[in-house]
Structure 1
Amino acid sequence: MTSNSNTEQKFKSGFISIIGRPNVGKSTFLNRVIGQKIAIMSDKPQTTRNKVQGVLTGNDSQMIFIDTPGIHKPKHKLGDFMVKSAINALREVDVILFMVNAVEGFGRGDEFIIEKLQDVKTPVFLVVNKIDEVHPDELLPLIDKYKEKLNFQAIVPISALEGNNVDTLLTTIKKQLPEGPQYYPADQVTDHPERFIISELIREKVLHLTREEVPHSIAVVIDSIKKKEGKEIVEVMATIIVERSSQKGIVIGKQGSMMKEIGQRARKDIELLLGSKVYLELWVKVQKDWRNKMSVLKDYGFNDDY
């Protein structure tokens, strides 16, 4: 009698950290892979503040992706937290995806990240994103420039937005993963509680709609989430925190028009997330210089215990 144990496919699992300069498309990639929005997207740098974990479960594997804040030179305590959070995500993972922007090319920020990667024992993949925006002839010289700096385990050009080559990247990652357990239930796509994702969806709308007028000096705190008695509707109360009174005026808008638009757009995304009708009520509060106050940062969920 022959054993077929050799042909039996073993389950593989592992943690994959996505690292790179701000605005290279890390969150777009994560949302593409997971198939729904769990990380907020904005063309403003440093949009991602906390590490967001996305879980992709297949028949024979589970990949847990960690989307980190873009590595940049910090200007305040929140910036310190973000950079520390990103660098700490290099520890105890199975694969590191170093994502770069094909359009912007090699930059000083990349030098800084490569310096951090020199001592890392984990396999590092170079992921060249936004290939849909450059001519193919420009790719090889760019890849060569990165190859001179670090010995990469694999190099995969992709377009996170269009989905080009993303499956190839996933296959390459899977080959690298060890045999392991299924850490999360098959239907779970993130380890973040719904409160966190809801606050991020609201913050995304503020960033999109206020553009340059309100920079990254905003936070969103969820005051309560509860189901209305006897109704299939979820009631969400949230406060948008800004640093200056002038920003409060911008967020509210003329006769409350901006606030209304933020609320309408956020509500649509929250309804998709919860699979339920949502009643969303927003307030705006001024908290001067909150990004430099450790006690306030902790209150807003930026815990420095990684």
Structure 2
Amino acid sequence: MSNTATNTPHYDTASVFVAVIGRPNVGKSSLTNLLVGEKVAIVTSKPQTTRTRITGVITRGPIQYVLLDTPGVHKARNKLGKRMDKTASDSMGDVDVSMMLFEPYGALNESELALVDQLRRSGPAIAVINKTDLVKAPEDLEARKAEIQALGVFDAVYTVSVRDKKNCETLFEALGRYAVQGPHYFDDDAYTDMPEKELVAELIREKALLFMRDEIPHGIAVVVERFKERPGTDLIDIDANIYCERESHKGMVIGKGGAMLKKIASAARVDCEEFLGCRVNLQCWVKVKADWRDNEFLLNSFGFKQESGR
């Protein structure tokens, strides 16, 4: 046998893991969905829509892009909020590059500046100014780019409009520069690592967020209890529990004569059928678990498990 050291294997493929970070409502989930080409993250105009780390996967030729859409950083008011912030900060340490989204106007808030500080310690990052469709004058955008570049943590600043699908394609080339030679971690036709049950639960929660007023939906969790294909048919039976924190909230989620619950379930069913590619029989029930957002056991059982510390 030869005594020469074994060479590192050569791969014709590469992967780049990307943390998508930024303040709430800056467009992280919308951008992730657009780049992936599939709906992997729910999107509403309400902050804190994304609660856990969502993985979006895009394979283009030799490069596989793995986008980790993280919860928007905010001032945590309960244990769920603290877990969401930890998920966002942990993601920055797990990736090849962070992609931080900004709005074109407004002062950077405390949470954004904290993220920028963290980026100084966690490796390479690029900045993306989203919502260029709202820019009133070209010089405004140039001033914003200069302000972000002056922070001294970003290798480059890009400008996009997710709404108009403008310039988003350029981000593949930008992120591809950070790709690391090696095997693809997901099948080339995969677009997320989330189980179907979790995606269905998220679609139901999205509809509750869309249809209900501000206060209640943050106190809502959705757990799919049954997900079963009927033998010999193209029909899946899905049973889901919608948990809220107060009896009064339960009444609002159900609505007069069950109207609100029916509206949520009907809209979610349409999305589920499109996503699963078959007919869906969706049954939803509303249950009360008081103050679940501050209950470690319930947070774990509802799927908000805290990943082991690094």
TM range (shorter): over 0.9
Decide which of 222, 246, 250 is 1:220's aligned counterpart: 222
CA distance in 2, matches of 1:199, 1:54: 17
Report SS of the residue matched to 1:69. Answer: coil
Quote the offset at 1:106 in angstroms. 2.6
CA apart distance, 1:133: 1.3
Correspondence for 1:195 = 197
Alpha-carbon distance in structure 1 between the residues aligned to 2:113 and 2:292: 31
Distance across 1 between alignment mates of 2:283 and 2:277 = 18
- Please say if 1:20 is aligned against 2:22: yes
- Give yes or no for contact 1:127–1:156 (8 Å, CA) kept in 2: yes
Q: Which runs of 5+ in 2 are unaligned?
A: 1-10
Distance (whole Å) between structure 2 residues aligned to residue 76 and residue 87 of structure 1? 17
1:171-182 to structure 2, matched below 5 A, reads: 171-182=173-184
* Matches for 1:26-175 after TM superposition, within 5 Å: 26-120=28-122, 122-135=123-136, 136-175=138-177
Within the candidate set 292, 295, 298, 1:293 is matched to 295
Structure 2 residue aligned with 1:265: 267
The C-alpha deviation readout for 1:116-146, integer Å capped at 9, x for no partner, is: 21212x2100011111111232111112222
Bigger mean CA offset, 93-102 vs 76-85? 93-102
Q: Any runs of at least 4 consecutive aligned residues in structure 1 with deviations exceeding 6 A, and if so which? A: none
Deviates more, 1:211-220 or 1:42-51: 211-220
**Residue type matched to 2:287 in 1?**
K
Calculate percent identity across the aligned residue pairs: 38
Amino acid at match of 2:247: S
CA distance in 1, matches of 2:289, 2:75: 24
- What is residue 255 of structure 1 aligned with on the other side? 257
SS of residue matched to 2:129: strand
1:1-20 equivalences in 2 (<5 Å)? 10-20=12-22
8 A contact 1:21–1:71 mirrored in 2: yes
SS of aligned partner of 1:187 = coil
- Give the AA of the match of 2:286: V
Residues 62-114 of structure 1 deviation map (CA, whole Å, 9 limit, x = unaligned): 00000001111110000010000100001131110011122445333221211
Q: C-alpha distance in 2, partners of 1:262/1:33?
A: 27
Q: Secondary structure at the match of 1:156?
A: strand
The alpha-carbon deviation at position 161 of structure 1 amounts to 2.2
Distance in 1 between residues matched to 2:296 and 2:217, nearest whole Å: 20
1:5 is matched with which residue?
none
Provide the C-alpha distance between the structure 1 equivalents of 2:305 and 2:48, rounded to a whole number of angstroms: 17
TM-score normalised by the chain length of structure 1: 0.94
Q: CA deviation at 1:213?
A: 4.4
| TM-score, length-scaled by structure 2 | 0.93
Q: How many pairs were matched up?
A: 298
* 1:242 matched residue in structure 2: 244
Q: Give 3-state SS (helix, strand or coil) of 1:256's partner.
A: helix
Backbone CA RMSD of aligned residues:
1.5
Q: Does structure 2 conserve the Cα–Cα contact (< 8 Å) formed by 1:102 and 1:128?
A: yes
Q: Distance in 1 between matches of 2:263 and 2:107?
A: 36
8 Å Cα contact 1:205-1:266 kept in structure 2: yes
How far apart are 1:172 and its partner, in Å? 1.1
Whether contact under 8 Å (2:119, 2:153) holds in the other structure is no
Moved more, 228-237 or 81-90: 228-237
Kindly provide the amino acid, as one letter, of the partner of residue 86 in structure 2.
K
Structure 1 residue 218: deviation in Å? 0.4
Task: Give the equivalent residue in structure 2 for 1:278.
Answer: 280
| Unmatched segments (≥5 aa) in structure 1 | 1-8
Residue aligned with 1:56, SS: strand
